Chains A and B, each alone.
Chain A
Amino acid sequence: MTPLVLQPQSEAELGQMVRAAQGPVSLRGGGTRGVAYGPGTVLETAGLSGITLYEPGALTLVAGAGTPLAEVEAVLVAQGQRLAFEAPDLRRALQRQGVSTLGGVVATNASGPRRVQAGAARDHLIGVRFVDGMGTVVKSGGRVMKNVTGLDLVKLMAGSHGTLGVITQVAFKLQAVPECAVTLQTQVPLSAGLGLLRRALGSPFEVSGAAYGPFGAALRVEGMEASVRYRAAALKALLGGDWVETAGDALWAGVRDAHGLDDGALWRVSCKPTAAEGVVGALAGVAHQATFDWGGGLIWIAVQGVGDAGAALIRGAVAGVGHATLMRGRGAAAFAPEAAGVAALSRALRAQFDPKGILNAGIMG
């Protein structure tokens, strides 16, 4: 008899389970984040847990995909290191509970405010192992920082939302936690605020956070104390106006985790930074709240009281300058429809890696 939930304890066992699967399999990391799971038998990766290699001197970590993110973060912090891409914790925003896993982070390419300076999860991922839809174990990349050997399936797996394979192991490059961080804040209207963020990102002062929200415009600089002091002062001089210095930890966690956007549907919009204002402008007349990250390149929007969750307005406004994912709510497809050429390639790739069409079936189109 098939158990209700598949809980492989090893990569090999996972391979057998997928090989034997007669119908769709719905992948779960630690979390329970409804929208993006496929139908079918639930498969949990929690058994594929544990850090297999951590070399602080080489800034490298290798761990099972089911390893809780929090566990990894605790181990790294003890050595003064971190995952630089600041993976969001969206439990509150998505109204879910559970434990974020490394596999889930990779499968969604989950990346926070520091992306503007340090890159996304995909940019720090240096190796993966996964089980494809036929139950075959595949590896790509490894544990070294520079590697161009063969096609880069590591990047392809990042953000594949479980539709190409079940990730079993991931390798990350790490960053040292800098000794100092300063946040600058100023209260200005949206348009001026976004302009300030873009100017700051266009300066040589290495801004590692550039957000706009109810808190106004906020910038973050990190590094050695003397350097941070210098750059904070240089930014103030460059941008003018009244800036206050804050510790900023709570502010950036809130931006990262999409706090304060609890009502209605929740959108995550990736766009050309200068297009951000127009995208939100398209919602004039509809109740909504927005937070801008990445200097305007990422917008979190909560929308209330429209049947399609605001999809027509938002996707219409972002056409040609980005795309929008529906993270919470109903009334529209979660993932943005892709242009025909890209969609055909993506479909063909999924058919190659998962010919039975069983892994998180249909969630990405």
Chain B
Amino acid sequence: MDMPLPDQRIVNARDGLIARLRGVLPADAVISDPAETRAYECDALAAYRCAPLAVVLPRTTAEVSAVLRLCSQMGVKVVPRGAGTSLAGGSFPTADCVVLGVARMNAVIETDYDNRFIRVQTGRTNLAVTGAVEADGWFYAPDPSSQLACAIAGNIAMNSGGAHCLKYGVTTNNLLGVTIVLMSGEVVEVGGPWSDAPGLDLLGVICGSEGQLGVVTEAYLRILPKPEGARPVLMGFSSNEVAGACVADIIRAGLLPVAIEFMDRPCIRACEDFAKAGYPDCEALLIVEVEGSPAEIDAQLARIKDIALRHDPVAYRESGSEEESRKIWLGRKSAFGAMGQIADYMCLDGTIPVSELPYVLRRIAEMSAAVGLSVANVFHAGDGNMHPLILYNANKPGDLELCEALGADILKLCVEVGGCLTGEHGVGVEKRDLMTVQFNPADLEAQLRVKDVFDPAWLLNPAKVFPLDVTASRRAS
């Protein structure tokens, strides 16, 4: 992966920059010691590392504004950062940038149950948002698996999803308003605790903009009353095709489970070895979860069972207790950890039309055999968001490259069958150079025009999302 050459003029002026940053921020908010900036050299796409010029950790919107105004005046690039859990290299620094982390901005500003919203500073972690309202019977719905660590800032920037988004939607469907600081330092309030924009839906394009448009410092989030209960059921099938058909039938029947998770044999094996969840030995496994009162859950599961039995499951286990529910989810939740035990892995995130599931799984198996790298599949089947995990050996020369090439081919396959490169992790640097597979020059140009409006000097989160050759002239000027 290429990155543009750092701007030597800026790199050489590092000391002056740091002095001026200290001029606008409290002393402890500017980190310049290389030993301390090391923690900010990468995000969860840890194969790529680069030391920034400095890291700033402001506590208020006003401080964020001061930093951006200064960097803008000096022509210094800024990489916004939440918790650094991006799997796409979204918060990967450049050698000529300042990393602006919002982690210290984690306050709850306002909680309003009557109007069903919470207003937070965006450095607050996803789980801590639910944590703030849970005791009163409420929750914040989008639940990425990284929710213990990831910040609302990153969730908004990536438009993150989670296991339960089949029913509740992703971040953009649960976001009411933001305070965004533009690269110029200007603070703009977009949206608020009401529905609809009075004019253009700027919030819609800010969500998912991967730190390209501004730094989001505060957010109004929709909160929901907690359901009375939830219960998962686990089903095993003799082939991916049959499991895929079962998913399609559940959806077609109009049942709306909160989650339909899919695991294939390599993934089941690894999870079983790692977590001992007691999964059946089979080709494909589904975890379907429904919500409501005990009676509602019984009624829904009766329908789901009818459908499942038509597909001759090799196993069908309904949870009968909290403990059984925990066990059913245990393997799924430890999937990434389990993979990490047996090999290095790369996690893909393409989405496909649900109807293409069996075909795409078959093709992935063929491609993986041809290259000689194993692929395990674990994903959100209800909405077609796949997470193929390609296993490789980082210590074996050439293996990473082989893995990246296979990953690219799988993502191209996703686009070819009518899907997309990324369903929830974002483009970042990882999928940047594949954007031309999904978009033609005119499609991309329209996106660049939006960036031109918010960040005319192209200083925010450089060299991400858009292929470098496509943005070359804009970055140069």
Query: How far does the alpha carbon of A273 sit from the alpha carbon of B354 in the complex, in Å?
Result: 37
* B194–A274 CB distance below 8 A: no
Query: How far does the alpha carbon of A80 sit from the alpha carbon of B253 in the complex, in Å?
Result: 9
Contact of A152 among B200, B208, B300, B355 (CB under 8 A): B208
* B201–A159 CB distance below 8 A: yes
Q: Does B148 contact A (CB under 8 A)?
A: no
Given the interface contacts A144-B420, A274-B114, does A156 sit within 8 Å of B453 by beta carbon?
A: no
Contact of A156 among B112, B200, B420 (CB under 8 A): B200
Given the interface contacts A119-B173, A120-B196, A136-B442, does A148 sit within 8 Å of B422 by beta carbon?
A: yes
User: What chain A residues lie within 8 Å of B137 (beta carbons)?
Assistant: 204
Contact of B450 among A151, A323, A341 (CB under 8 A): A151
Query: How far does the alpha carbon of A147 sit from the alpha carbon of B426 in the complex, in Å?
Result: 9
* A364–B200 CB distance below 8 A: yes
Query: How far does the alpha carbon of A272 sit from the alpha carbon of B446 in the complex, in Å?
Result: 33
* A297–B195 CB distance below 8 A: yes
* Closest residue on chain B to residue A144 by CB atoms: B351
Given the interface contacts A204-B225, A227-B296, A339-B189, does A147 sit within 8 Å of B195 by beta carbon?
A: no
Contact of A352 among B114, B300, B435, B450 (CB under 8 A): B450
CB distance from A361 to the nearest CB of B (A): 15
* B205–A60 CB distance below 8 A: no
* A204–B202 CB distance below 8 A: no
Binding stretch for chain A, among B95-103, B323-331, B378-386, B388-396: B378-386
* B225–A160 CB distance below 8 A: no
Contact of B209 among A142, A151, A163, A271 (CB under 8 A): A151
CB distance from B201 to the nearest CB of A (A): 5
* B293–A345 CB distance below 8 A: no
* Closest residue on chain B to residue A146 by CB atoms: B423
Within 8 A of A (CB), among B156-185: 158-159, 161, 165, 169-170, 172-173
Within 8 A of A (CB), among B182-206: 186-190, 192-205
CB distance from A62 to the nearest CB of B (A): 10
Q: Does A342 contact B (CB under 8 A)?
A: yes
Query: How far does the alpha carbon of A140 sit from the alpha carbon of B202 in the complex, in Å?
Result: 16
Within 8 A of B (CB), among A44-64: 55-60
The interface on chain B, measured as residues whose beta carbon lies within 8 A of the other chain's beta carbons, has a size of: 92
* A349–B453 CB distance below 8 A: yes
CB distance from B193 to the nearest CB of A (A): 5
* A123–B195 CB distance below 8 A: no
Query: How far does the alpha carbon of A273 sit from the alpha carbon of B172 in the complex, in Å?
Result: 20
Given the interface contacts A151-B209, A164-B200, does A176 sit within 8 Å of B443 by beta carbon?
A: no
Q: Does B418 contact A (CB under 8 A)?
A: yes
Query: How far does the alpha carbon of A80 sit from the alpha carbon of B187 in the complex, in Å?
Result: 47
User: What chain B residues lie within 8 Å of A343 (beta carbons)?
Assistant: 199
CB distance from B402 to the nearest CB of A (A): 24
Query: How far does the alpha carbon of A136 sit from the alpha carbon of B385 in the complex, in Å?
Result: 31
* A149–B446 CB distance below 8 A: no
User: What chain A residues lie within 8 Å of B159 (beta carbons)?
Assistant: 148, 152
Within 8 A of A (CB), among B309-336: none
User: What chain A residues lie within 8 Å of B197 (beta carbons)?
Assistant: 159
Q: Does B48 contact A (CB under 8 A)?
A: no
Q: Does A139 contact B (CB under 8 A)?
A: yes
CB distance from A56 to the nearest CB of B (A): 6
Contact of B420 among A56, A149, A270 (CB under 8 A): A149
Most buried by B among A122, A140, A144, A153: A144
* A345–B453 CB distance below 8 A: yes
The interface on chain A, measured as residues whose beta carbon lies within 8 A of the other chain's beta carbons, has a size of: 83
* A294–B195 CB distance below 8 A: yes
Query: How far does the alpha carbon of A341 sit from the alpha carbon of B187 in the complex, in Å?
Result: 8
Contact of A149 among B187, B200, B422, B445 (CB under 8 A): B422
User: What chain A residues lie within 8 Å of B203 (beta carbons)?
Assistant: 155
User: What chain B residues lie within 8 Å of A227 (beta carbons)?
Assistant: 292, 295-296, 299-300
CB distance from A337 to the nearest CB of B (A): 8
Q: Does B248 contact A (CB under 8 A)?
A: yes
* A272–B200 CB distance below 8 A: no
Q: Does B439 contact A (CB under 8 A)?
A: yes
Query: How far does the alpha carbon of A230 sit from the alpha carbon of B254 in the complex, in Å?
Result: 19
Within 8 A of A (CB), among B203-232: 203-205, 207-209, 212, 225-228
Contact of A143 among B116, B299, B353, B425 (CB under 8 A): B353
Q: Does B104 contact A (CB under 8 A)?
A: no
* Closest residue on chain A to residue B194 by CB atoms: A322
Contact of B199 among A132, A144, A147, A335 (CB under 8 A): A335
Bitwise interface map of B from 147 to 160 toward A, beta carbon under 8 Å scored 1, else 0: 00000000000110
Query: How far does the alpha carbon of A327 sit from the alpha carbon of B158 in the complex, in Å?
Result: 35
Contact of B300 among A56, A163, A204, A224 (CB under 8 A): A224
Q: Does A360 contact B (CB under 8 A)?
A: no
Query: How far does the alpha carbon of A328 sit from the alpha carbon of B173 in the complex, in Å?
Result: 29
* Closest residue on chain A to residue B466 by CB atoms: A150
User: What chain B residues lie within 8 Å of A322 (beta carbons)?
Assistant: 192, 194
Bitwise interface map of A from 176 to 214 toward B, beta carbon under 8 Å scored 1, else 0: 111100000000000000000010011110000000000
* B454–A146 CB distance below 8 A: no
Contact of B115 among A59, A272, A350 (CB under 8 A): A272
User: What chain B residues lie within 8 Å of A283 (beta carbons)?
Assistant: none
User: What chain A residues lie within 8 Å of B450 (beta carbons)?
Assistant: 151, 153, 156, 349, 352
* A341–B205 CB distance below 8 A: no
* B252–A352 CB distance below 8 A: no
Bitwise interface map of B from 452 to 463 toward A, beta carbon under 8 Å scored 1, else 0: 111000000000
Given the interface contacts A152-B208, A156-B204, A322-B194, does A132 sit within 8 Å of B300 by beta carbon?
A: no
* B299–A353 CB distance below 8 A: no
Query: How far does the alpha carbon of A177 sit from the alpha carbon of B208 in the complex, in Å?
Result: 30
* B295–A270 CB distance below 8 A: no
Query: How far does the alpha carbon of A335 sit from the alpha carbon of B201 in the complex, in Å?
Result: 13
Query: How far does the alpha carbon of A273 sit from the alpha carbon of B192 in the complex, in Å?
Result: 12
CB distance from B438 to the nearest CB of A (A): 6
Given the interface contacts A146-B424, A159-B196, does A151 sit within 8 Å of B202 by beta carbon?
A: no
Contact of B202 among A138, A154, A342 (CB under 8 A): A342
Within 8 A of B (CB), among A280-303: 294, 297-298
Query: How far does the alpha carbon of A323 sit from the alpha carbon of B198 in the complex, in Å?
Result: 6
* B451–A346 CB distance below 8 A: no
Bitwise interface map of A from 318 to 355 toward B, beta carbon under 8 Å scored 1, else 0: 00011101000000000110110111011011101100
Query: How far does the alpha carbon of A122 sit from the alpha carbon of B449 in the complex, in Å?
Result: 21
* Closest residue on chain B to residue A123 by CB atoms: B173
User: What chain A residues lie within 8 Å of B226 (beta carbons)?
Assistant: 204
* Closest residue on chain B to residue A271 by CB atoms: B194
CB distance from B182 to the nearest CB of A (A): 8
Q: Can you list 16 A-B contacts (CB < 8 A)?
A: A122-B201, A132-B446, A137-B442, A142-B438, A147-B351, A147-B420, A150-B427, A152-B208, A156-B201, A156-B450, A176-B254, A201-B116, A202-B114, A226-B295, A226-B299, A322-B194
Q: Could you tell me which A residues sit within 8 Å of B by CB distance?
A: 55-60, 80-81, 109, 115, 119-120, 122-123, 132, 136-140, 142-156, 158-160, 163-164, 176-179, 198, 201-204, 224, 226-227, 230-231, 234, 270-274, 294, 297-298, 321-323, 325, 335-336, 338-339, 341-343, 345-346, 348-350, 352-353, 364-365
The 6 tightest CB contacts between A and B, nearest first, are: A155-B204, A176-B254, A146-B423, A341-B188, A323-B198, A352-B449
